[in-house]
């Protein structure tokens, strides 16, 4: 099992670390455009192997995609954050160019690869990969919902005063502050609906705190988070690599599911060795359907800025 991670920044390196510690991959390749950066991160991580008890081989390369050849799974974290004075169109244009180049190079050396897209705006970048490649749709997956759901469960456990292992909940929709649709009505504490424990106002606060989860961390840290995003990516990689048939909300190309077509947006899927094994239908009430449609409108608006 060979996994490539493009982008050796905080999220990419964190993802590599979690994959190695879980010890299910034989090889992880970190690739970055900054000279020596991926090599240094890989060496640092390999020096933890005897301490953390893993045998996964981690190596780094500066832009040499031949080193990624025959990867089973590849993660794309490449891209730039929005800078002061930069328009949304400029950001999308730059990141789209990066993602196009990365996807083409990965597929050139690993035609059977499964791609996991993390680059932002994630739903739009996932849609772009569908448009510019010939990969079957089950092998292109956007990572957003797994992270958003982890943040939702954190906030639920906090409100309940319960261990997170007791809590289950899911976030669907777009991976943005306004696009997320936390399914509070379906959230449970050990199979009992959380509405039995929390007032409507408190549950509403949990939902709002979840939606600004990323922005809250950026304000505190001065940069984007990396531990939870890296862990979320590693969970998807493991589910695929180990054919776990686990359910995660992921951004996938829809063709009529949830009354949506020609769009990548977060919905629950079963992940296994083929990538997306099945899109799972969840019964939504009218309010949830309306929020999902609003979320899709926002994603489509961002998609319209792509030059495909």
Catalytic member of 109, 130, 175, 186: 175
- The pTM of this model reads 0.96
Tokens of 253: 């190309």
Is 8 marked as a binding-site residue? yes
Q: Which residue from 63, 59, 67 is spatially nearest to 26, judged by alpha carbons?
A: 59
Q: What is the pLDDT of residue 80?
A: 86
Q: What is the pLDDT of residue 88?
A: 67
Is 274 marked as a binding-site residue? no
CA atoms of 44 and 157, how far apart (whole Å) = 34
Is 10 marked as a binding-site residue? yes
Going along the chain from its start, the domains and CATH numbers come out as: 2-143 (3.40.50.720), 145-304 (3.90.110.10)
Residues of the chain with pLDDT under 70: 82-83, 86, 88-89
CA atoms of 170 and 107, how far apart (whole Å) = 31
Residue 253 near residue 232 (C-beta atoms within 8 A):
no
Is 28 marked as a binding-site residue? no
Burial label, 256 (beta-carbon count in 10 A; 0-12, 13-18, 19+) = exposed
Catalytic annotation present for 175? yes
Is 118 marked as a binding-site residue? yes
Is 169 marked as a binding-site residue? no
Is 119 marked as a binding-site residue? yes
Is 171 marked as a binding-site residue? no
Q: Over the stretch 17-49, which tens digit does the pLDDT of each residue have?
A: 999 999 999 999 999 999 999 999 999 999 999
Is 52 marked as a binding-site residue? no
Please report, for residues 146, 175, 197, 202, the alpha-carbon distance to residue 193 in angstroms, rounded to integers and kept in the order given.
20, 25, 8, 14
Q: What is the 3-state secondary structure (H, E, C) of 266-281?
A: EEEEEEECCEEEEECC
């Amino acid at each position: 099992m060979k996994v490539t991670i493009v982008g050796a920044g905080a999220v990419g390196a964190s993802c590599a670390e979690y994959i190695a510690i879980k010890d299910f991959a034989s090889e992880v390749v970190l690739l970055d455009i900054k000279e020596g950066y991926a090599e240094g991160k890989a060496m640092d991580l390999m020096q933890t192997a005897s301490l953390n008890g893993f045998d996964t081989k981690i190596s780094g390369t500066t832009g040499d995609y031949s080193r990624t050849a025959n990867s089973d799974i590849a993660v794309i974290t490449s891209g730039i954050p929005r800078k002061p004075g930069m328009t949304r169109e400029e950001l999308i244009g730059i990141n789209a160019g990066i993602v196009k180049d990365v996807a083409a190079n990965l597929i050139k050396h690993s035609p059977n690869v499964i791609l996991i897209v993390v680059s932002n705006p994630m739903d739009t970048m996932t849609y772009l990969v569908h448009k510019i490649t010939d990969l079957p749709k089950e092998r292109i997956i956007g990572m957003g919902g797994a992270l958003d759901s982890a943040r939702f469960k954190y906030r639920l456990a906090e409100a309940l005063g319960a261990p997170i292992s007791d809590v289950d909940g899911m976030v669907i929709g777009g991976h943005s502050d306004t696009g997320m649709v936390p399914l509070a009505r379906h959230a449970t504490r050990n199979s009992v609906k959380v509405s039995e424990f929390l007032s409507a106002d408190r549950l509403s606060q949990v939902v709002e705190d979840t939606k600004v989860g990323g922005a809250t961390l950026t304000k505190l840290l001065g940069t984007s988070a990396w531990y939870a995003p890296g862990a979320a990516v590693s969970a998807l990689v493991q589910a695929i690599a180990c054919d776990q048939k686990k359910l995660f909300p992921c951004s996938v190309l829809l063709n009529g599911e949830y009354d949506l077509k020609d769009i990548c947006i977060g919905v629950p899927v079963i992940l296994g060795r083929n990538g997306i094994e099945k899109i799972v239908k969840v019964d939504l009430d009218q309010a949830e359907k309306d929020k999902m449609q609003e979320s899709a409108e926002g994603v489509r608006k961002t998609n319209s800025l792509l030059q495909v």
